[in-house]
Structures are given as C-alpha cells and as structure tokens.
Structure 1
Amino acid sequence: MPRAGVQPMRRKALIAAAIDAIHAHGMAQVTMGEIARRAGVSPALAHHYFGGKDQLLLATMRHLLTELGDGIQARLALAAGPEERISAIIRGNFAACQFRPAVISAWLAFYVQAQTDPEARRLLRVYTKRLESNLVHALASLTTRERSIEIAETTAALIDGLWIRQSLADGGADPEKAVAAVEDSVRRALGRARS
C-alpha cells in the first residue's frame, strides 16, 4: 500500500476507536492510550495525528457531522417537493446511524465539550446553522420568509431536544416517534401560517 494512504486509514481507525472508547468509558475517563489500543496503533501515533483527546473528539465530531450531512443530502436528492424535503431533513437527523449507542455517547460528549471549548461550540453552531438553513430553504415556498425562519428555528430546537430525549430513553430510542412529533409540529406551524 502506498504510504500516502496509510494516514487517512489510521485517522479513520482512531476516530472509530474514539467513538467506541467514549461509549465504553465516558469522555472524562477515556485515555488516548485506550483509544490507540482499540485502533491498533501506538499512543504516540495517536498524539501525532490529533495532539490530544479534545482534538480527537473534535475530529470525531467533524466526521459525524459529515456523515449526518451526507445522509441528509442523499435524502434531499430523492425528495420531490417541499414537504418531502422537510421530511428528508427531519428523518436524516433521526437516521439509524445516528442512534447507534456508541454514536449517541460521542454526540453527548460533544455537547458537553461545546460548553467550554470554543472550537466545539463553533462546530455546534455550524451544525445548527446548516440545519436551520436547510429547513428555511425547504419551507420557503410554503410560507413567508420570516415565518420560514421562525418555523426552522423551532423545528431545529425540537429535533435537537427530541434527539437527546430519545437517545437517553429507557428501552432504547424510538426515532419514528420523534420524526412523527417533529413533522406534526411543522404541519401545525404551517397551518397557522396559512390561516
């Protein structure tokens, strides 16, 4: 294998190992040594690629945000109209790959880190702005621009809140229930906007 291909593979393996290690031990307890062991590399190499645990969490979140965005874009490509686009955005946020227990642990660790880490907070803002922008675009032909922004902000907050609630639910997540609740909220908001 060419040497140029090794670094991306190792970085990807370290990100996957970080997701599993955070789930197994929690962000506060996990060490770079544990993550490196799970990835099959030396701790020195893990530090070389990421610098430290916080930087690895940021890289992990960039990876998860990319997966989330790619999944939503794939759904949007199949959507025929504005209602289907709204549903595609909502369903993308509750996709099965986002509800794996290890991924849930990584997301929750990211939310906690965003409270004190400016770069994590920036990434969270990028995610929020992208979500709201996609929703505004999908809502634009159904109501006014101002109302689209209001509905998008409420919908994004509802998605985040229900995602956290579902991810922590006893007996496991029920993404379909969450999707139905968010879609119902959007329908009601649009109904009020049209009357």
Structure 2
Amino acid sequence: MRSRSIRTIRRAELSMAAFEAVVLYGLRGTTLEKVGEIAGVSKGVVLHHFKDKGSLLEAVIRRTNGMLSTSLVELYRHAETPYERLWAVIIANFHESIFNQAVCQAWVSLMAEVPHNRESQRVQTANYARVASNFAHELKHFVPREEARTIARHLNLLIDGIWVRVGSRVEPLDGAQSIGDLEYELMKFLPTDEKSLAKHKAAREKMENVARIALGTRAFLENSISR
C-alpha cells in the first residue's frame, strides 16, 4: 500500500513538472529530460513512471482537469443555494490559480495534442461532459431540464472559447472580465426580474470572496498539487 501511495505521489509530481515544462517551453519544446530537470530527477525516473511523452501528456491533461474539479469541490463546500452553486461552477473555471495567460497557453498546446492521442480524447470528452453536467444540474433550478442542458452546452463552448483566446494571446482577458462575459450570456436565458438579479449578484460576490480566500491558501494549493 505504501509503495503504491509513493508511486501515486511521484506521478502527480511529475505531471505537475510536465505542466510547468509546457508553460515554459511549449509542447514542442517539452522533453522528458526537461520534465526531469524541473522535478529534480533523472530522465530514467520519468520513464519509470511514464513510458513515453504521450503518456506523460495524457497525465498532464488529467491533472489540469483535476485542478478544476478540486477547485469546484472546495467552492461547493461553501455554497448554500442554487444561485451560489451555479456561480461556484462559473468561478471555478476562472479563478486565477488556474486561469492566467501562462496556464491558458499551456492548455491550448495540450489541446492541440488531443486529436492525436485516443486516451487524451477520452479524458477530455469526459471533462467536457462533467462541466456540462455541473451546469445543467444547477440550471435546472431556474429553467426546464431540457433547456438547462442546452444552456449548459452553450456555456461550456463559451468557456472553451475564452480559454483559447487567452491562451492564443488574442485577447488579454482576466478572470473578472471572463466571468462578466459568461454572466452576460447567462442572463439571456434566465429570469431577470429584480429579485432574481439581486440573488445572482449576491451569489457571485459571495463565491468570488470564497474563491479569493479558500483557493488562494497555501494549504489548498499544496493539497491540489499533491493529488
């Protein structure tokens, strides 16, 4: 049990090192040697845990998706209403710990590899489905279930588009701007009476404050990296 635990920790560390390498050198410039240098181990150690660059990149994609899931779980712990849970899903996608130009640029590089790696395709398809499901689950409190699924797909596509724009250096958006863009689209589909808008505003402010505190702590970041 202990050896498997150590192996899991080592693979997580190497996945994070690989992600850092993609941020620093781009996908083409990322090699097993550079991953080893960042992790402080030899190329042989990297190969011991990942048979080739393809399997390492697959693990990186899993890790980046896992960071989003971990952030959302943390925000959910503090969300008490459907409004707050909906805004938790939105804010988790754009918190500065995972949404910045360097990370978005690395993500775009990784997504370019997905069509050439069947396992990465499976992982990313599952991630898209999970994000859409999270949205649909909360949106059903505001609109009929079928409409909720349609809106969820629309928001999922919009999130991807924002990440691509930032990662491609087409537009220097920050998290607050991106959340605002998503809010603009979201409010086209949901009730916008004065009472509903006030609840959305309060929920967004609360979850942004929670994210600022809970997702920015050293303990959370270290726990997220070690998983």
TM-score bracket, shorter-length normalisation: 0.7 to 0.9
Cα deviation, residue 50, structure 1? 0.7
Residue 201 of structure 2 corresponds to residue 187 of structure 1: no
Matches within 5 A, 1:1-195: 6-169=6-169, 172-191=172-191
Q: How many residues align?
A: 191
Q: What CA distance in whole angstroms lies between the structure 2 residues aligned with 1:146 and 1:139?
A: 10
Q: What CA distance in whole angstroms lies between the structure 2 residues aligned with 1:170 and 1:109?
A: 15
1:17-60 residue CA offsets vs partner (Å, 9 max, x unmatched): 21121122211222111111221111111111011111111111
Amino acid at match of 2:36: A
SS at 2:189's partner residue? helix
Amino acid at match of 1:30: T
> Taking structure 1 as reference, are residues 55 and 78 closer, same or farther at Cα in structure 2, changes over 3 Å only?
same
> How large is the Cα RMSD of the aligned pairs?
2.1
Amino acid at match of 1:189: F
8 Å contact from structure 2 (residues 108, 168) kept in 1: no
> Taking structure 1 as reference, are residues 168 and 47 closer, same or farther at Cα in structure 2, changes over 3 Å only?
same
Cα deviation, residue 4, structure 1? 5.7
Cα deviation, residue 92, structure 1? 0.3
> Taking structure 1 as reference, are residues 45 and 145 closer, same or farther at Cα in structure 2, changes over 3 Å only?
same
Q: What CA distance in whole angstroms lies between the structure 2 residues aligned with 1:107 and 1:183?
A: 23
What runs of 5+ residues in structure 2 fail to find an aligned partner? Answer: 193-227
8 Å contact from structure 1 (residues 128, 156) kept in 2: yes
Cα deviation, residue 80, structure 1? 2.4
What runs of 5+ residues in structure 1 fail to find an aligned partner? Answer: none
User: Comparing both chains, which one has the higher relative contact order based on Cα–Cα distances under 8 Å and sequence gaps of 6 or more?
Assistant: 2
Amino acid at match of 2:145: R
Q: Percent identity?
A: 28
8 Å contact from structure 1 (residues 94, 163) kept in 2: no
Q: What CA distance in whole angstroms lies between the structure 2 residues aligned with 1:94 and 1:123?
A: 20
1:64-102 residue CA offsets vs partner (Å, 9 max, x unmatched): 211110101221222222222221101100111112454
Q: What CA distance in whole angstroms lies between the structure 2 residues aligned with 1:177 and 1:126?
A: 27
Amino acid at match of 1:73: V
Q: What CA distance in whole angstroms lies between the structure 2 residues aligned with 1:60 and 1:143?
A: 36
Cα deviation, residue 170, structure 1? 6.4
> Taking structure 1 as reference, are residues 7 and 153 closer, same or farther at Cα in structure 2, changes over 3 Å only?
same
Amino acid at match of 2:71: G
The TM-score with structure 1 as length reference comes to 0.88
8 Å contact from structure 2 (residues 101, 169) kept in 1: no
SS at 1:78's partner residue? coil
Q: What CA distance in whole angstroms lies between the structure 2 residues aligned with 1:184 and 1:101?
A: 22
- Bigger mean CA offset, 7-16 vs 80-89: 7-16
